[in-house]
Amino acid sequence: MMKPKGWRELTPGAVILEAGNAVEFKTGSWRAFRPVWREENCIQCLFCWLYCPDMAVIVRDGKRADFNYDYCKGCGICALECPGKKGNKAIIMQEEGK
Amino acid sequence: MATELRLKELSKKEELFTHGHRLCAGCGAPIIVKMVLLASEYPVIACSSTGCLEVSSCISEYTAWKIPWIHSAFENAAATIAGVESMYKALKKKGRADKEIKFVTFCGDGGTYDIGLQSLSGAMERGHDMLYICYDNGAYMNTGIQRSSATPLGADTTTSPAGSVVPGKLQQRKDLTKIMAAHNIPYAAQASPSHWLDLMKKVRKALKIKGPKFMNILSPCNRGWRSRTDDAIMLSRLAVQTCYWPLYEVEDGVTRITFKPKEKKPIVDFLKPQGRFKHLFNPENEWIIKKFQEMTDKEWELLLKSS
């Protein structure tokens, strides 16, 4: 996290010049439940990536990789929307710290 | 080259709304922004009026936007983006810019249905080349769930509290998409994040059209709807399947329904998972559910007839 600036150091109009610098703020600590990816049940539908409100599902070259736990807030949308394979979900929610 | 509207291809595009924004877990708004920006084939300049999305995406010194983005006051997002669009047109005329850029707003229902309606109506009438997107979560969620004119009948909010005196909001919600279509703009549509392909196709279509465009997108809010954090997509799907939120577009005055549910579900399916409608299931409030169902049926019939 950056140090708060005094008014003299702010840009005119408090314009933020660095695009997308919110990545410096990690929201992963908000999480109470952690999504766990089970690769063997994954059909690569990418719905988890599409519906994730926190852009916390990593996709490389069109293939799903793991979660980005630095930002995942643990809402569980991915787990609910996951179609899984033969009725077995590829994402399950686990309580943090257990 | 346009990216095919397939998830595999879209996932290779850069995400222009980054993580690190501070919207609640399970919020619908960032999903909508992500889908809209992924669908766009043009560079976009955006503007948001005051609301959840605005306050949470640019908390002092941080921005989650990777595109030029302006925070406007509550009532004038449409006027702000109209000004930007006019300025860019002037620059083009003077030969100082030549890129094709699209101008989009992302505003909540408070800033659209209520406070920003005059500036929106004005900008649509003046015919600016812009796309106004309203993410409709059905109340002033940012300030603590006060009723707005987008709040559905019977919903419990802090300014229409359900109790022994009133059974939640007594009025029906405003049909803003129809109000905007009545401006005779080239394109007005309604979409839901659960039907992502439909949403993206509408965005693509809208951005290709010159002139003022409007899209109303349902955005579930688990805090205000008193539901679970993981059901944003499920609830928006139910809203479509119960015809509470029909998916349609009005292009040059011609209405076209883009999704007809095979089997229209009863409105109870949509109301039941939401705590804001919990009191409606008490015997004394049954009439509201009945009225809700009648209203939904009537509006759906009207829509079927007009298409």
- Which tens digit of pLDDT belongs to each residue from B114-152? 999 999 999 999 999 999 999 999 999 999 999 999 999
Q: What is the pLDDT of residue B127?
A: 96
CA–CA gap between residue B176 and residue B139 (Å, rounded):
14
Q: What is the pLDDT of residue A2?
A: 65
Q: What is the pLDDT of residue B61?
A: 85
Q: Nearest-CA neighbor of B180 among B124, B258, B249, B247?
A: B124
Q: Is the pLDDT of residue B193 over 90?
A: yes
Could you give the percent of chain B with pLDDT greater than 90? 97
Q: What is the pLDDT of residue A9?
A: 87
| Mean pLDDT calculated for residue range B226-245 | 97
In the block, which residue shows the tokens 């229902």? B109
**CA–CA min distance B174, chain A (Å):** 27
User: Beta-carbon neighbour count of residue B201 at 10 Å?
Assistant: 17
**Structure ipTM:** 0.93
| Mean pLDDT calculated for residue range B15-30 | 96
| Mean pLDDT calculated for residue range B257-286 | 96
Q: Which residue of A has its CA nearest to B9?
A: A62
CA–CA gap between residue B225 and residue B234 (Å, rounded):
13
In the block, which residue shows the tokens 């599409």? A50
User: Beta-carbon neighbour count of residue B99 at 10 Å?
Assistant: 8
Q: Is the pLDDT of residue B38 over 80?
A: yes
Residues 53-82 of A with CB under 8 A from B: 53-56, 59, 61-62, 68, 70-71, 73-77, 79-81
Q: What is the pLDDT of residue A1?
A: 60
* pLDDT class of B1 with cuts at 50, 70, 90: low
Q: What is the mean pLDDT of chain A?
A: 93
Identify the residue among A45, A77, A91 best suited for mutation to test binding to B, counting B beta carbons within 10 A and taking the highest.
A77
Q: Which residue of A has its CA nearest to B16?
A: A20
Could you give the percent of chain B with pLDDT greater than 70? 100
Q: What is the pLDDT of residue A13?
A: 85
B233, A49: Cβ pair inside 8 Å? no
CA–CA gap between residue B66 and residue B41 (Å, rounded):
15
Q: Which two tokens stand for residue A42?
A: 């994954």
CA–CA gap between residue B147 and residue B137 (Å, rounded):
11
Identify the residue among A54, A64, A78 best suited for mutation to test binding to B, counting B beta carbons within 10 A and taking the highest.
A54
Coarse DSSP helix, strand, coil percentages of chain B, rounded to the nearest 5 percent: 40, 15, 45
Q: What is the mean pLDDT of chain B?
A: 96
* pLDDT class of A5 with cuts at 50, 70, 90: confident
Residues 72-101 of B with CB under 8 A from A: none
| Mean pLDDT calculated for residue range B159-172 | 95
Q: Which residue of A has its CA nearest to B38?
A: A50
Q: Please name the CATH architecture into which domain B11-306 falls.
A: 3-Layer(aba) Sandwich (3.40)
In the block, which residue shows the tokens 């998830």? B7
CA–CA gap between residue B41 and residue B8 (Å, rounded):
16
Q: Which residue ranges make up each domain of chain B?
A: 11-306
Size of chain B in residues: 307
Q: Nearest-CA neighbor of B189 among B11, B5, B36, B20?
A: B36
Q: What is the pLDDT of residue A14?
A: 85
Alpha carbon B223 to its chain's center: 17
* pLDDT class of A10 with cuts at 50, 70, 90: confident
Pairing of strands B44-48, B102-108: parallel
B63, A19: Cβ pair inside 8 Å? yes
Q: Please name the CATH architecture into which domain A26-95 falls.
A: 2-Layer Sandwich (3.30)
* pLDDT class of A4 with cuts at 50, 70, 90: confident
B234, A51: Cβ pair inside 8 Å? no
Q: What is the pLDDT of residue B121?
A: 97
**Residues of chain B contacting residue A23, judged by C-beta atoms under 8 Å apart:** 18-20
In this complex, is the C-beta atom of A94 within 8 Å of any C-beta atom belonging to chain B?
A: no
| Mean pLDDT calculated for residue range A45-72 | 95
Q: Which residue ranges make up each domain of chain A?
A: 26-95
Largest CA distance in chain A: 61
Q: Is the pLDDT of residue B50 over 70?
A: yes
**Residues of chain B contacting residue A20, judged by C-beta atoms under 8 Å apart:** 16, 18, 63-66
More confident residue, B122 or A4: B122
User: Beta-carbon neighbour count of residue B208 at 10 Å?
Assistant: 12
**Residues of chain A contacting residue B231, judged by C-beta atoms under 8 Å apart:** 77, 80
**Residues of chain A contacting residue B59, judged by C-beta atoms under 8 Å apart:** 25
DSSP code per residue over chain A? -PPPPPTTTSPGGG---STTGGGGS--GGG-SEEEEE-GGG-----HHHHH-TT--EEEETTEEEEE-TTT-----HHHHH---BTTB-SEEEEETT-
More confident residue, B239 or B307: B239
**Dihedral sign (CA A72, A78, A80, A84):** negative
CA–CA gap between residue A97 and residue A78 (Å, rounded):
20
Q: Across-strand partners of B216?
A: B134, B190
